[in-house]
Amino acid sequence: MPASGFIVLILVLLVTCEAEPATEFVEASDGGSASLPCNLNPPGTSDKISVVLWYKGAEQNPIYKYDVRGNQPVRWAEASLQNRYFLRILDDHRAIMSISPTKLSDEEVYHCKVDFMKSSTMITHKALNLTLNS
């Protein structure tokens, strides 16, 4: 393979492969409240979010969705969450997933994924490992 072909291959791999985010640990009391942060910073400075998705553990489907593509934001949560999960948008760059009251079944690793209007979808925050103290 010529050197130029090798460089192109490396660049393609760097662009298409996403490194596994580092894990951040969040602690809460059983029956209390937990706050899981989500970074809403777009890769492009003039971009805005369109959808925020939260995943729990190795689930392929989101457990929570915040969609701002229409006239009004639409929130959807998996029925098993029993209205205990709520995404609060703090500003254009930060959001918090609040869980209250927490249950032992909430202990898990969570991921926040953000779709933007123009930019590519990205996991914008580290893996969040929620641990509950009894």
Q: What is the CA radius of gyration of the chain?
A: 17
Instruction: Give a yes or no: residue 7 inside a domain.
Output: no
Instruction: Give a yes or no: residue 4 inside a domain.
Output: no
pTM: predicted TM-score of the whole model, two decimal places: 0.78
Instruction: Give a yes or no: residue 128 inside a domain.
Output: yes
Give the domain range for residue 61: 21-133
Instruction: Give a yes or no: residue 87 inside a domain.
Output: yes
The 3-state secondary structure of the chain, one letter per residue = CCHHHHHHHHHHHHHHCCCCCCEEEEEEECCCCEEEEEECCCCCCCCCEEEEEEEECCCCCCCEEEECCCCCCEEEECHHHCCCEEEEECCCCEEEEEECCCCHHHCEEEEEEEEECCCCCEECCCEEEEEEEC
How many structural domains are present in the chain?
1
pLDDT string in tens for the chain (134-residue length): 555 443 433 333 333 334 445 788 999 999 999 999 999 988 777 888 999 999 999 899 999 999 999 899 999 999 999 999 999 999 888 999 999 999 999 999 999 999 998 887 877 667 889 999 97
Domain with 39 in it: what CATH number? 2.60.40.10
